[in-house]
Chains A and B, each alone.
Chain A
């Protein structure tokens, strides 16, 4: 965090000054480790084993915050007797379908709900990355569930959790992660001590955690610990995700993502959502509890914002205009389709996949096989010049005179040359004022897309084709101003906020959303950002003039709430858990919730409220159910649906690992998304043969002085000067083993690529003892490419393409490689070297090893 989010890290240091104990877990010793109280080096890709060890420590010693756990989580809920655990299935839960490599979730449900909730078969959900839909709400579940408040029932969640993690002992943590037991126990002891009425603990991760084939389950394990310790919805608690771009949160909420519409509404699927009603019912699940019951209003209001007068209740608000998913249309599938010639055009909007995405060669080969490419950026990036300067030009794989891709480079406006909002990592929207005009042809994306849309509509104005109606009926009449006819960003923000159709009055809260066409809302979770016609994101009341919650600085979704689920900061009776941790509480005199933040609960619903039998929607949420977006109002220790690779996190080895999974016969996540394409390959891992060809683990991350794929830092002289060269960090032990000289050159080889880097021999990396052998890890920054003031080979070229099944994010924080002294070969010799490694490792590009591990006797696990 000190490296990649330095200014945010001041708050960790502030907490430390006030007595907090800081633990840092990382494969590499960093600036964060240097100021932490304790540093735990970890083998990359084994975090579930470490965190699972903490869960076991809590449960074995009964250190959970029992009052919180009983009232606010699903610990007492009883699970179906059809459920069987990975502990009994050698790494498989019940319901695995080897045919599709996904689970049927019926047996994971709460008792009595086996057929009536959950998603059943999840193969389609994996292809549409539907896990992402749960960012604003939990997966659906029937609220009326059998419970055992004594937590003794063998099938209650608490007992299931206990059995599931029973083997995650300190010894096992040491064996899997390479973390010495005393270090682990120090962490577990300190974490559990900061729990209860008086104390909280916080878990912070950066999005490298998501870049694993089990990334979502990493975060689930963290959430389980935080729920068991009563650290959710309380000040000083929580799971804090440090995201990597200025508005990556915003571009997920208002998604430029294939599977979502604004506010986490799913993009319709051709088979599952043929009609508006079926689409809405798939979101709200009629009869179930929770705030998601209003989905119909959010959906109708979005379509109303898109299609205005044309959208009527009679025509289902133009639902028919929406394009339909048929499967996986994610960025990696797209790149493979580009290589296969199926995609003609490509827009790159401030993103540089030639450097920033996994398997850089595949990215560049894909772009070299397009009809046209539009690059909008501040700088001439690698993704615009691959046809001229890319590594494949050197190897002869791309010949400029034979490359047909037509490239348009359009300069973009910088953040000071336009106005608008970013949503930062805590869901806080901050409006930026425009300082100066953009230079020359540089324009904002707002300008580009508004005027592009205008032109497209002009060109189609006389079209009789039904398919063009969606474009022609679109509301696209934003006011413009200034010499360049810049569209008004405030007008767009007002549409995002939503308004009353009849009067144009901006809405103040998403509770005002209606399903009858009387409201239009561009993104329902952002309703309120333009309440009273005031741009609330532009608020800049100084921190010196308000309390520490700083509610009048910018605006946070939803409803300017700074801590989600903050009903949990009070005890079941509505009183603060303690004076120290007072945040939101029930004011009995006024009969309402009050506090320092906007209460995340119906304002006047008393703590004693019990829903009448059969109640659904918000009515079904009891006065002491803080997790109001969940179908049962509870925090989920066990997730009966919504997570595709299991109701509980399980340690699987990374897709590429030098180590056999010490816990299960199943080696890697059996539900991971794999692509059998000739350009793609996976290095062998045990029990497959030849894993020793790639004996070392490599991981990548950020330098303080560079930003992502380097377009905004390798082009900026002070930053380029601070970190001028691509390098690889290796331990002194590995340097001896491989004959690497400090400040000399090394090259790294995977089944996809070979890259070179300067060698930094440092004890920031240390060999780890895992399963009685020494595992060497090397570390690389991923910022370098072949354009800019400072250049170098791209670390992401080393990775292949294997994805997490929930969100289709690639495993690009861990892989295996070989490390050799000296510079890499150039030209065709480079391809020969990779081919030689592939041959020695038995890699047959285009053919994946089966997802289900075949052990040495050839016996297949799971699928029982």
Chain B
């Protein structure tokens, strides 16, 4: 290595003489960093998505490698966000891959002091039975003047603003057909 090559190898030299005076781009690169590739480059697939936090609706690109989310970035094509994400949107990968996520059904018996495991299908069955029982116990056919009520006030539901339109549609449709009126979500708070 000649002296000139040696000096030109110094980041500070490149920073002062090159096109990157702030030293945030090419000037700061080393052989090590030059050999790195972005996680986004070797992804198996990319899904076009939307940030799950606030209602701005920033575009996201979700990169997948070996069946796992490897990176989530802002979508530069979006006319809303132009590729940007705020701290929350940028943390979306940490959200979906958080080790704190619950991935199994948990069940707490009445008067119990701890959680136990439960099969998903069993849980679904138990919930359906409880809904039908509550509905039966609290069903109202008509009011005191004989006008139809067709309803149960025996159970309630809260939440929907973090969910998809299609999901809200099914929730409302199913509960309404059961006569369940007390459906609410974050729009009320």
Interchain nearest-CB distance for B24 vs A (Å): 21
Residues of A400-421 whose CB lies within 8 A of B: 400-411, 414-418, 420-421
Is A452 within 8 A of B68, CB to CB? no
Task: Determine which of A271, A434, A456, A808 lies in contact with B188 in the assembled complex, contact meaning CB atoms within 8 Å.
Answer: A808
Docked CA distance A628–B95 (Å): 43
Give Cα A705 to B111, complex, Å: 37
Choose from A345, A348, A470, A487 the contact partner of B154 (Cβ within 8 Å).
Answer: A345
B109: min CB distance to chain A, Å: 6
Q: When A and B form their complex, what is the total count of cross-chain residue pairs whose Cβ atoms lie within 8 Å?
A: 479
Residues of B within 8 A of A707 (CB): 53-54, 88
B172 CB–A CB distance under 8 Å: yes
Q: Which chain B residues lie closer than 8 Å to A330 at the CB level? A: 184, 188
- Measured between beta carbons, the chain A residues less than 8 angstroms from B104 are 411, 440-441
With A441-B103, A456-B131, A705-B87: A274-B147 Cβ-Cβ less than 8 Å: yes
Name the one of B47, B62, B161, B179 contacting A247, with C-beta atoms under 8 angstroms.
B161
Extra pairs beyond A247-B165, A433-B47 (11, CB < 8 Å): A4-B54, A5-B54, A322-B176, A350-B161, A351-B186, A403-B110, A407-B107, A416-B47, A442-B103, A445-B171, A446-B167
Q: Which residues of B contact A460 (CB under 8 A)?
A: 132
Q: Tell me which residues across on chain A come within 8 A of B165, comparing CB atoms.
A: 247, 250-251, 253-254, 420-423, 429, 493, 496, 526
A251, B100: Cβ atoms closer than 8 Å = no
Residues on A with beta carbons closer than 8 Å to the beta carbon of B102: 377-380, 409, 411, 442
**Which residues of chain B are near A322, meaning CB under 8 Å?**
150, 176
- Partner of A421 from the list B62, B125, B164, B170 (CB cut-off 8 Å) is B164
Partner of B183 from the list A7, A257, A441 (CB cut-off 8 Å) is A257
Q: What would 7 A/B residue contacts be, using CB atoms closer than 8 Å?
A: A322-B150, A331-B189, A337-B153, A350-B163, A446-B166, A456-B131, A705-B88
**B164 and A380 contact, CB distance less than 8 A:** no
Instruction: Encode A266-309 as 1/0 by CB contact (under 8 A) with B.
Output: 01001100100000000000000000000000000000001000
Separation of A379 and B99 alpha carbons in the complex (Å): 10
**A326 lies within 8 A of B176 (CB):** no
B88 touches A387 (CB 8 A): no
Q: Which chain B residues (70-123) contact chain A, with CB distance < 8 Å? A: 72, 75, 77-82, 84-92, 94-96, 98, 100-113, 115, 118, 120, 123
Find residues 708-748 in chain A having any chain B CB closer than 8 Å to their own CB: 708, 712-713, 715-719, 722
Minimum C-beta distance from A246 to chain B (A): 5
Known pairs A254-B172, A415-B50; A343 contacts B143 (CB<8 A): no
Contact with B along A438-466 (1 / 0, CB 8 A): 01111111101111110110011000000
Q: Does A591 contact B (CB under 8 A)?
A: no
Of A256, A388, A434, A717, most B-chain CB atoms within 10 Å: A256
Q: Which of A343, A346, A435, A449 has the most CB of B within 10 A?
A: A435
Is A75's CB within 8 Å of the partner chain B? no
Please give the distance in Å from A255's CB to the nearest CB on chain B.
Answer: 7
> How far is it, in angstroms, between the C-alpha of A493 and the C-alpha of B168 when the chains are bound?
11
Q: How far is the CA of A450 from the CA of B166 in the complex (A)?
A: 11
Q: A252-B187, A456-B178, A492-B170 are in contact. Are A246 and B128 (CB under 8 A)?
A: no
Q: B141 at interface (Cβ–Cβ under 8 A)?
A: yes
CB of A432 within 8 A of CB of B57, answer no
Interface of B is mostly: mixed
What 8 A-B pairs come out closest when comparing CB atoms?
A: A424-B57, A420-B164, A440-B103, A351-B159, A349-B159, A256-B160, A345-B155, A323-B151
Interface string of A520-538 (1 = CB under 8 A from B): 0011001000000000000
Please tell me if the beta carbons of B161 and A248 are within 8 angstroms of each other in the complex.
yes
**B45 neighbours in A (Cβ, 8 Å):** 435
Say yes or no: is B134 at the interface (Cβ < 8 Å to chain A). Answer: yes
Residues of chain B with a CB closer than 8 A to A245's CB? 53-55, 161-162, 186
Q: By CB atoms of chain A within 10 A, which of B126, B131, B152, B166 has the most?
A: B166
CB distance from A30 to the nearest CB of B (A): 14
Measured between C-beta atoms, what is the minimum distance from B106 to chain A in Å? 4
Residues of B within 8 A of A809 (CB): 188-189
- Residue A258 CB within 8 A of the other chain: yes
Question: Do A715 and B88 touch (CB < 8 A)?
Answer: no
Confirm or deny: B35 has a beta carbon within 8 angstroms of a beta carbon on chain A: no
Alpha-carbon separation in the docked complex, A425 to B58 (Å): 11
Alpha-carbon distance A262/B166, docked complex (angstroms):
12
Residue of A nearest to B162 (CB): A350
Interface residue B40 (Cβ < 8 Å from any Cβ of A): no
Residues of B within 8 A of A445 (CB): 163-164, 167, 170-171
Are A408 and B118 within 8 A (Cβ)? yes
Q: How far is the CA of A788 from the CA of B98 in the complex (A)?
A: 11
Q: By the criterion CB–CB under 8 Å, are A716 and B110 in contact?
A: no
CA distance A417 to B69 in the complex (A): 10
Task: Evaluate whether A459 and B128 lie within 8 angstroms (CB atoms) in the complex, with A7-B84, A10-B84, A441-B105 already known.
Answer: yes
Residues of B within 8 A of A841 (CB): none
